[in-house]
Amino acid sequence: MARQERAVRTRETLIRSAAEIFDREGFTVASLTTISTQAGVSNGALHFHFASKAALADAVEEAALLRLRILTDRPSADGPGRLQHLVDATHGLARGLREDVVLRAGFDLSGEPARPPRTDLRAHWRGWVAALLEKACQERELAPGVAPEGAVTAVVAATVGFEVLGNRDASWLAAGTVEAFWRLMLPMLAAEQLLPRLEAEGTALLNGPIGLLNPS
Amino acid sequence: MARQERAVRTRETLIRSAAEIFDREGFTVASLTTISTQAGVSNGALHFHFASKAALADAVEEAALLRLRILTDRPSADGPGRLQHLVDATHGLARGLREDVVLRAGFDLSGEPARPPRTDLRAHWRGWVAALLEKACQERELAPGVAPEGAVTAVVAATVGFEVLGNRDASWLAAGTVEAFWRLMLPMLAAEQLLPRLEAEGTALLNGPIGLLNPS
């Protein structure tokens, strides 16, 4: 293996190990020694890649943002347009938070009081949901009278709630929980002619291999 | 002042000081010395009341639960019944989280990875919302076809989302945000004959003095 390739792998191993330790112990408690030991990497190698725990946290957030972008930038399925894309993205996010420790740790770092987030994943998610619902409103995919701002508030607050509550009780991130949420919301949000074609349980796109969430 | 009364006051001062430091620095970073200094109390006095930081956190959670119960156990307004009670309680919760550091710190401790919560405020809130919506369903105050479980999921996840997002951006806890949420949700949740009488902005009960939130 070329030296550069090895360095890239070591960096990725350290990011994953940091995400696992942040997820288990919290950012403040996590020690660089625990992270390097779990990664099977010397302290010297860790410091070669990351000058501090804050730098490692930045790298975890960046890696998590890449994963989130795979969910949000995925091309829409043909058919019922933006709202289905939003439903699919929330299912993908819940599944990602269940199965991918880097995504989970990245989101948690957005709420870490001891450290201002550099890449604020919750803010990124909010921006994406807001842009999508604004566009859906312009294209008359929302029911008449639905204010996009109210819908953004409800969807972003609920998904952040799923994320936070899911840390203690994984049932908040179960597909059935997200589906129940959309079964309640879609009849109110969606334009009448779209509603019969929308699938609260998400579309087949979601059933791809979880590898989709792991760009490496 | 009698000795016992002084001891009670010192205990309350310490709980408030701990809530402020937990809120600002996070539970893990907070030191007992910072807490006792801010309270204007000696380290010895702190240790007389609380054997450890975990014991202080337990006391903050208990004090926060008392405050939450004042919001949830408040008698319902005459009129549109349980759903209005729920709307009012979420407004009261948002206001309490904005203005009352003990309530805010108590909720945050529910999500603290370094410490299993003893009094889990988020779980208590979930239980209360679930019981209320179940009862509203039995009394036909919900729209036909609305599953109480779906409504519980949406309301609890969104309110926990407001709480968490409000830590970084207080606009998530503004009365207007909670009102926008209910303007979206009520037309879907409420039985048709109730809807015109429900107030998404909360009822007058809320306009009492904030002292209601401070049982001491």
CATH code of the domain in which B88 resides? 1.10.357.10
Place of tokens 């979880």: A210
Mean pLDDT of chain B: 89
pLDDT at B76: 59
Place of tokens 């699938």: A199
Task: List for chain B the helix, strand, coil content (%; round to 5).
Answer: 70, 0, 30
Q: What is the mean pLDDT of residues B93-122?
A: 89
Q: Which residues contact B130 (CB under 8 A, 6 or more apart)?
A: B148, B152, B156
Percent of chain B with pLDDT over 90: 72
Q: Report the alpha-carbon distance of residue B210 to residue B114 in Å, rounded.
A: 32
Mean pLDDT highest for which of A104-118, A198-212, B136-150? B136-150
Tell me, yes or no, if A107 comes closer than 8 A to chain B by beta carbon: no
Residue A17 located in a structural domain: no
Q: What is the mean pLDDT of residues B111-133?
A: 88
Q: Is A46 exposed, middle or buried (0-12, 13-18, 19+ CB in 10 A)?
A: buried
Question: If you measure CA to CA, which chain A residue comes closest to B143?
Answer: A184
Residue B51 located in a structural domain: no
Q: Give the orientation angle of helix A53-73 with respect to helix A3-25, to 10 degrees.
A: 90
The mean-pLDDT minimum among A16-20, A32-36, A78-82, B108-112 falls in A78-82
- Using DSSP, state whether B190 is helix, strand or coil: strand
The mean-pLDDT minimum among A48-57, A70-79, B188-197 falls in A70-79
Instruction: Indicate the number of domains in chain B.
Output: 1
Nearest to A173 by CA among A118, A106, A91: A91
Q: Which residues contact A11 (CB under 8 A, 6 or more apart)?
A: A49, A59
Identify the domain containing residue B92 by its residue range: 60-205
C-alpha torsion B14→B20→B22→B23, nearest 10:
160
Residue B122 located in a structural domain: yes
Model confidence, pTM: 0.88
Q: Per-residue pLDDT tens for B164-177? A: 999 889 999 999 99
A67, A178 contact by CB (below 8 A): no
Q: What is the mean pLDDT of residues A63-83?
A: 81
Residue B1 located in a structural domain: no
Nearest to B89 by CA among B57, B126, B61, B114: B126
Long-range contacts of A75-78 (CB under 8 A, 24+ apart): A77/A203, A77/A204, A77/A205
Q: Nearest CA of chain A to the CA of B112: how many Å?
A: 8
Residue A27 located in a structural domain: no
For residue B25, pLDDT over 60 is answered with: yes
Q: Per-residue pLDDT tens for B192-207? A: 999 999 999 998 655 4
Tally Cβ neighbours within 10 Å of residue A68.
Answer: 23
* Between B115 and B49, the higher pLDDT residue: B49
Q: Per-residue pLDDT tens for B47-105? A: 999 999 999 999 999 999 999 999 888 765 555 589 999 999 999 999 999 999 999 99
Query: What does the radius of gyration of chain B's CA atoms come to, in whole angstroms?
Result: 19
pLDDT at B216: 39
- The encoded tokens of residue B136 equal 């509203």
Residue B180 located in a structural domain: yes
Q: Which of A113, A157, A187 sits opposite B158 (nearest CB)?
A: A157
Residue A86 located in a structural domain: yes
Which chain B residues are closer than 8 Å to A167 by Cβ? 111, 113
Nearest to B162 by CA among A45, A187, A180, A152: A152
Tell me, yes or no, if B149 comes closer than 8 A to chain A by beta carbon: yes
Helices (H), A74-147: 81-99, 101-109, 121-138
Q: Alpha-carbon torsion A59, A26, A42, A100, what sign?
A: negative
Exposure letters B89-123 (e unless 16+ CB within 10 A, then b): bbbbbbbbbbebbbbbbbbbbbbbbeeebebbbbe
pLDDT at B210: 44
Place of tokens 């970073």: B29
Q: Nearest CA of chain B to the CA of A5: how many Å?
A: 35
Tell me, yes or no, if A172 comes closer than 8 A to chain B by beta carbon: yes
pLDDT at B107: 93
Q: What is the mean pLDDT of residues A158-176?
A: 94
Residue B186 located in a structural domain: yes
pLDDT at B68: 95
- The encoded tokens of residue A53 equal 């725990």
For residue A192, pLDDT over 80 is answered with: yes
Q: Nearest CA of chain A to the CA of B188: how many Å?
A: 6
